[in-house]
Structure 1
């Protein structure tokens, strides 16, 4: 990954020509702008020399130089480069503090709809930015509609929960899209709002399919738009829909090569489809870009986007049984003393990488020794991620015939779930509850109660089937239905094990342990042809990339 210097790039030359404000900045407005505490400085990007971020055409009121800079900022926004996008919008505000849409851009940078909900500082900043935007005149009625639609999300944020406000914003964007049917950006941001408001429990994918139809209809006319191609990937990031996003996944990185997130995002679909070599290449590029960005942006420690790519990379390595490479990533993670920002993505990676490694390889002793407090990271603030570690420890204790220790871990899982419920974080509480049911099942198996073991594991599998994975993760550390199949194998019921493995492989294709388990169960059932099929699939996914290319 080529390093960049914090200098003006071709796309940032427009900043030099931005005109000074034509009237003296009013003291009141100056004070309000200062209160927002905007991110400032040169926009930092890593990638090819042209620093490409895609092409956006969002018409706003202002001189050509302002419009050009605004479109550059929106392109960054569409690739979720929120910090750099805010800098770009802040540069517009510095040169033209009466550009109302620049404040809208700042508020969008602090919303990040498909990531973790914004926290108090971000909500405060977004609300203040929109307050200024509403006060500025003149602005077009269309610009006012954009500002008012986003204001719906920020209104009453102290009292209304995030999901309620997401739904309200979606409704506001629907009206805006209907009012301006020829405005492609309105349609694109409406599609994003649909994805953000989608119910994880809705297996009809109604909102996602609607978003997909909107984006697919726009794509032919704007093939280099980063938002269209990016949101198509998010829209179809589900087992039943992932194939629809493959063309977008294969193109996005080349459209916005200067974005670390654009390098990583295709691996969501590659993971869904079991395309491990493609996922590895995607995340190696993303990690290199993230490291470059952290160095040039002056980030202390490691940028969270680097950790995000590492989680997906390790997951892919494990499926190809490239254990040495997976362990190297774990060892590298253990050298981290600081992560910026210390958020959900980092917490998940700190939990998932070691847990995946020990559980995928059935290293039960190592599982019991996993630490729950990564150095320098506030892990206690993330109960769901902590639950992943305690779940691994519990399975280790079960397999090592240490029931008392296993039950201690189960008690911790119950407490973590209750803590999440108390904070009304129902999705995360449900994730921990799935682990609790699975844990109860394996504890019952070890206690000699196979009927209860199967009952609990089936409950866990059914719960997981009805719940979508969180966008931050490539997949569960161990799919519950695969774990149910493992239980059937322990109970000497290969027919049921085979059925469970096959069911899980439809939603988690090309998982090594799923294929291996299916091959073993098929052999035990006397189904040689089926066993040979799964064995051949194992050879295909574990073959070196060069060997695959020769075929």
Structure 2
């Protein structure tokens, strides 16, 4: 009897193991279909066809899928997330038991340096990780990759985005330490460090750690899109950007078929005030994005086009070329349909027209600015909407329409409260800076000069304490520059010059700060500084095509005795 029970237990255990293998080793078609994967041919729209860099990712899946898997990783490293998911889906179709392909789907819905994933993307990523975990045919190293991104998706409905980014970073650190010869683990760890970096950490501890990793790898893999891309992101900060200049000038050659790779170098060009390279980079990216929209059958405009246009307009304005900047402002105002609807397009729609009027100190135009209308609701994007209300507030304050200014100030406070309820502390602080700057100018125009100057100093200090969002070319109007303008009107020229010089350290070759620093220096009788700033202004400006009166004033300075 005892022997019979042993035999029965053996067969029962064997049945369970076989059942588990059948249920979990290879996902069913129904389980895969529930992921609702993006599918189709890879769209290539850059200068060359199908060139996204070179990656060799070691994995245990079917050898026949290796080429496609590497292509998916190349796309992933250039943030071509939709295209990457398509290729990971192809790998899954060919080899449904490839656990790392599901890891790739989860990574394609993460986009760490952009905006937090939507609820639909979080659900997709979580499902993909559940499938990857259910597949037993994977190495310990692959399990480490899957577990790391799994921590980002774990409890996504209970834990905030930043905490989960840190969880991912810590897990990737462990994986990197366990497999020090795995370059991909090192590269994704560097990305995780950048993603989890605090925007208030002025020591740039995470970024410097990531930079050390990436710079050590770059000489050995100079065609790797992730290494060169993440070097740019890692050093996209004042005082660090020059380190990434060689990478910025090479990335478009490494992955010329990626619209994002064509755009990304402009982050460094913007930081350094290299406006011609900035414009060239983004015009190429915009053209590639327009091509992508056409090939993908997008009804309207792709978000990468709007993103590139934001940088183009910013650069044109810093060269003083209102004509070309205004052409793009009008073009953007004609766009009524965009895909996908996300934070990037909302930012571009708000920032592009706001920048134009504010950089030109067109206060009447700023006061009359309207929220652009397209296929999305501004209620979903309070931070971006605040940009337009901030411009209206400054415009109304400068033109003496204090009732409208008070109304706009109240609206900004309302949007700040909305961001507080959403627990989006970074964007809440961005709006708080606008509120403080707006209050300062309202007080100044009402005659409360001392209080206004104190408020403006607070706004500038608040902005100095954080970094700009990675999606933006720069603040819509730097608080420190606004402080300089207020000090100039208060005839405190020495303090004004210091404020403009502080702006130029953080944002070299800004048109208005160069000009105003020159004027402040002239007022102080500091001819050397006046010459230096006016000369630099005339060097960076498109003097042949600019109608900015500041150009003529700078030129006239050199005609004086």
1:170-209 to 2 correspondences below 5 Å:
170-209=169-208
**Aligned twin of 1:67:** 66
Whole-angstrom CA distance in 2 between matches of 1:176 and 1:211:
15
CA contact (8 A) 2:27 2:131 kept: no
**Aligned twin of 1:319:** 318
- Offset of 1:243 from its aligned partner? 0.7
**Aligned twin of 2:227:** 228
**Aligned twin of 1:304:** 303
SS at match of 1:334: helix
**Aligned twin of 2:360:** 361
- Offset of 1:48 from its aligned partner? 3.8
Q: Rate the CA distance shift 1:24–1:408 in 2: closer, same or farther, 3 A.
A: closer
Q: Rate the CA distance shift 1:48–1:396 in 2: closer, same or farther, 3 A.
A: closer
1:42-441 to 2 correspondences below 5 Å:
42-441=41-440
Q: Rate the CA distance shift 1:134–1:296 in 2: closer, same or farther, 3 A.
A: same
Which deviations, in whole Å up to 9, do the C-alpha atoms of 1:34-63 show, x marking residues without a partner?
100000111111124442100001011134
Q: For structure 1, which runs of at least 5 residues remain unmatched after alignment?
A: 1-22, 547-551
Q: Rate the CA distance shift 1:532–1:27 in 2: closer, same or farther, 3 A.
A: closer
Corresponding position: 1:478 with 2:477: yes
Q: TM-score, normalised by structure 2?
A: 0.92
Whole-angstrom CA distance in 1 between matches of 2:61 and 2:498:
62
**Aligned twin of 1:3:** none
- Offset of 1:373 from its aligned partner? 4.3
SS at match of 1:156: coil
Whole-angstrom CA distance in 1 between matches of 2:109 and 2:375:
25
CA contact (8 A) 1:62 1:99 kept: yes
SS at match of 2:45: coil
**Aligned twin of 1:508:** 507
- Offset of 1:64 from its aligned partner? 3.2
Q: TM-score, normalised by structure 1?
A: 0.93
Which deviations, in whole Å up to 9, do the C-alpha atoms of 1:98-128 show, x marking residues without a partner?
1111000000000110010001100110111
Q: Rate the CA distance shift 1:49–1:467 in 2: closer, same or farther, 3 A.
A: closer
SS at match of 1:36: coil
- Offset of 1:157 from its aligned partner? 0.7
Whole-angstrom CA distance in 1 between matches of 2:459 and 2:103:
43
Q: Rate the CA distance shift 1:48–1:523 in 2: closer, same or farther, 3 A.
A: closer
Q: Rate the CA distance shift 1:49–1:200 in 2: closer, same or farther, 3 A.
A: closer
Which deviations, in whole Å up to 9, do the C-alpha atoms of 1:323-358 show, x marking residues without a partner?
110000010001111111111100100110100000
Whole-angstrom CA distance in 1 between matches of 2:244 and 2:346:
28
Compare CA radii of gyration and give the structure with the larger one. Answer: 2
- Offset of 1:82 from its aligned partner? 0.1
- Offset of 1:28 from its aligned partner? 5.9
Alignment length (residue pairs):
524
CA contact (8 A) 1:394 1:410 kept: yes
Whole-angstrom CA distance in 1 between matches of 2:158 and 2:63:
41
Which deviations, in whole Å up to 9, do the C-alpha atoms of 1:245-276 show, x marking residues without a partner?
10110000000000000000000000000000
